[in-house]
Amino acid sequence: MVPGQSVVLYSRLHLIVRNHKVLRLVLWFIIIGTVILLVPTTTLVYLIVYVSTKPIIKGYNVIERMELAWFCAQEFVLTGIYISETVKLIKIWPGRDRRRLNIMYQLLAINALIIIFDFTLLILEYVGYHSLQVTLKPMVYSIKLKLEFAVLGKLVALVQPHHVQQSYDRQHECLDFVNAAPLASDISQGAE
């Protein structure tokens, strides 16, 4: 789940970061972390299932914590780059269009929420609530992924100004990832 999440974070960076060196460095950061951490973790998971000795279990516990810390740091870096570039855009935006500023502030709020989710998972792992952390991780990452796609949609809308106006007129203050279309029909009746 985590490398996919990082790829989604990376996929929207090119919309606000113009420095190709930074983008390439971030991509290599994701690739190296994925290879270095997922290969041993996957191997140890299979060894636990089929061999399950104390040294293998201890090794898995160590690599799991390292993996969680690395991926959390990776997402902090990606989100940090994104937030700093978004703040720069807010400062230099000509005319201070209220609609665009609202979108930028929503993007910052979504990213702050994503950091809180990552930090919560990291704390749960390091204070010894591994079972709770493993149980919550799929839910947290699915929410984060949904939020990331919302952010990506908002960034695309900012890059394409005519799309922003149509989207804003249609949905007013409603977030892009909230689709009210199903609520407009009567769901109490069966499909015809």
Residue ranges covered by each domain of the chain: 2-178
For 153, residues 6+ apart whose C-beta sits below 8 A from its C-beta are: 176, 177
C-alpha span between 4 and 168 (Å, rounded) = 29
C-alpha span between 79 and 150 (Å, rounded) = 15
∠ CA 126-129-133 to the nearest 5 degrees? 90
For 39, residues 6+ apart whose C-beta sits below 8 A from its C-beta are: none
Amino acid of residue 183: L
DSSP 56-76: HHHHHHHHHHHHHHHHHHHHH
Proportion of the chain in helix, strand, coil states, percent, rounded to 5:
85, 0, 15
pLDDT values of the chain reduced to their tens digit, one per residue, 192 residues: 667 777 877 877 777 788 889 889 989 988 998 889 888 888 988 998 888 889 988 988 888 888 888 888 888 888 888 878 877 777 776 666 777 777 777 778 888 888 898 889 889 888 888 888 888 888 888 888 788 777 777 777 766 655 444 444 444 444 444 444 544 444 444 444
SS3 187: coil
C-alpha span between 30 and 18 (Å, rounded) = 19
Instruction: Look at the pTM and tell me if it is higher than 0.85.
Output: no
